[in-house]
Amino acid sequence: MNGFFSKFNLREALGTTSAPAETEPQKKGGSFSNNAVMITSSNAALNIAAFQRAIVLRANTMSQLLWKYQKMDSMGGNYIDDNRGPGRNINYLFQTRPNELMSAPVFWRQAMMNVDLQGNAVIYIDRDVTGEVRALYNCQMASVNPIDLNYTISWVGLGGLFTKTVPHTDVIHLRGVLSRDNSLNGLSLITYGMKTLSLAATNDKLVQENAAKGGRIKLLVQEEKSQGFGLGRASKKELEKITSQLNRDVYNEDVVLMSNVANVTPISQNMQQQEIQLTRNFSVRETSRITGVPPILLMDDSNSSYKSPEAATQEFLLRTISPIQREWEAEVNSKLLGREGMPAHRFHLCEKPLLRLNPTGSANVAKIHLETGIKTVNELRADYDMPRVEGGDKALVSTNLQEVSNMKVNATPSAQEGGET
């Protein structure tokens, strides 16, 4: 038992990792790496605005997708919502309230954040004595035995913290896109984005220092050869003391001490220091690459290659959300249905709620469905919570299309006139 805990830990509890204790600032010397800020935790990574925006956007998008427990319609050969008996309970858990502590959108948003920030989201399936699911819990901590695939999990429920060892069939394990250990352990976005996030945090630190001082101004302490000017022929120890005092009280170690000094001269900002704020765009685009969120959705519309925000949103949903959606469906179906339950039933993660805030796009889709006979008038009205109308159950198709062999359509006007005479 002790072996697999030391092999790898799937994830730590989100938000329970304490922030690193503040340490005394290192004295700046010839190595500028002392100014670097290393990002190794989720708390530190979320302090970067672009990364925080990307994580929230990914999590909120996944929380808006609607889980549907469906059954195969023996008459129509398609899947329809199953809201009777056990199906109603399952849909209530997945769509409304998975457990007594939180609603479904909060639950699935938390699961997605666990995937992104910790690399794994482990969800405990709490069943009653008959095997029916009665609650779902996001685990605070989890580890897995690679030999028998038993999970040791901890979760918070009504009454406190619980710990239990369960078989893999009693957990839904959602992994990050990148994984290791034969895909048992997913890796967080922070793991592979550490260098970029550290650069962004370092840049933010320099910008903050500049803003606090009204610009990065340095002082050069330099000797005046003639006496009677500046500090005169001060000893080296006195000059070091003066320089240290200036750094401590005013300039935060931006005073440069040179040998044989006696005069203090301000030095203007160099080009690199003036462009620190401009280079922050670098961190936004790199964060976009790591998270799969287009820059325009991170509030950066400079040099955008998309014709409109809608095009960027479509790219985000197609390239980033859709693969995650398919993986989550496969995991839930395998754990809650298994081989025996499919294809009579399925869990489907429906993207329909994402269209609600785009009335034009939603109307165009409805028009196409109506004209091609995919949906009837009453089915479309039901999508908009509108009452049924008489005669609205008939499928309609557009009559603008004709067969290629239709001679009346293909005939020229003169041929048609000749044929009529």
| pLDDT, tens only, 97-106 | 999 999 999 9
Please provide the average confidence, as pLDDT, over all residues in the chain. 78
Interatomic CA distance for residues 99 and 159, integer angstroms:
13
**pLDDT higher than threshold 60 for residue 24:** no
Which tokens go with 76?
């129509």
Is 80 exceeded by the pLDDT of residue 63? yes
Nearest 5 degrees, angle CA 383-CA 388-CA 392? 95
Cα–Cα distance, 251 to 101 (Å, whole number): 51
338 vs 215: which has the higher pLDDT:
338
> For 17-32, what is the mean pLDDT?
45
Cβ-based neighbour number of residue 27 at 10 Å: 8
Q: Can you state the percent helix, strand and coil of the chain, rounding each to 5?
A: 45, 20, 40
pLDDT-derived band at 28 (thresholds 50, 70, 90) equals very low
As a whole number, mean pLDDT of residues 271-276 equals 53
Percent of the chain at pLDDT exceeding 90: 34
Amino acid 235: pLDDT:
64
- C-alpha distances out from residue 41 to 56, 139, 158, Å: 16, 19, 29
More confident residue, 203 or 249: 203
Q: Which of 126-135, 280-289, 314-323, 405-414 has the lowest mean pLDDT?
A: 405-414
pLDDT of residue 250: 54
**Average pLDDT estimate for 389-412:** 72
Where is average pLDDT lowest: 242-246, 283-287, 373-377?
Answer: 242-246
